[in-house]
Amino acid sequence: MAIDKETIKHVAHLARIDLQPNELDKLSANLQDILGFIDKLSSLDVEKVSPTSHILPISNVLREDEPRTSLTPEKALENAPSKKGSFFSVPKVIE
């Protein structure tokens, strides 16, 4: 799979990363290598292997519906870069 500059830009935007023009070439090459490495996996015969979505052989881990103590608003907001009253405050967003 060829990774061109446009793809890198798109992925960078999805991850909200600002890339400099010189980084685009470098990252295109890096990502190309990584994907090439992963591509090797497709040479394996997995015909008889069922798909895995979790690495541990455990399933159905559940919790009872019992309330636990939450954080106080003060504690929850302790590391917030910006707050107003007991709200987190962010640059205005309107979609």
Partner 1 sequence: MIYETVIGLEVHLQLNTKTKAFCGCSTDFGKPPNSNVCPVCLGFPGSLPVYNRQALNSAIKLALAFNCRIQEHTKFDRKNYFYPDLPKNYQISQYDLPLSRNGYLDIFTNGSPKRIGITRIHLEEDAGKLIHEDAVSLVDFNRTGIPLMEIVSEPDLSHPQEAFDYLTNLKNIIEYLDISDCDMEKGSLRCDANISLRPAGVKELGVKTELKNMNSFKGVKDALTFEVERQTKILEAKETMVQETRLWDVEQGITVTMRTKEGAKDYRYFPDPDLTVFVIGKELIEPVKATLPELPYDKMQRLMKTYALTEYDAKILVASKKDAEFAEVCMQEYPGKDKKEIANWLIGPLMAEANLRKEQLHTLKLDRKELINLIGFVQRQEISHLSAKTVLTQMLDTGKSAQALIKEGNLEQISNTDALAQVIETVINENAKSVGDFKAGKVNALMYLVGQVMKKSSGKANPKVVGDLIKQRLS
Interface contacts to partner 1, rule CB under 8 A: 10, 14, 16, 53-56, 58-73, 76-77, 82, 84-95
Separation between Cα atoms, residue 24 and residue 15, nearest integer Å: 14
* 83 and 70 Cβ atoms separated by less than 8 Å: no
Closest to partner 1 by CB, 6 or 39: 6
Q: Least distance to partner 1 from the beta carbon of 82, Å?
A: 8
Amino acid at 27: L
DSSP state of 84: E
Minimal distance in Å, beta carbon 94 to partner 1?
Answer: 7
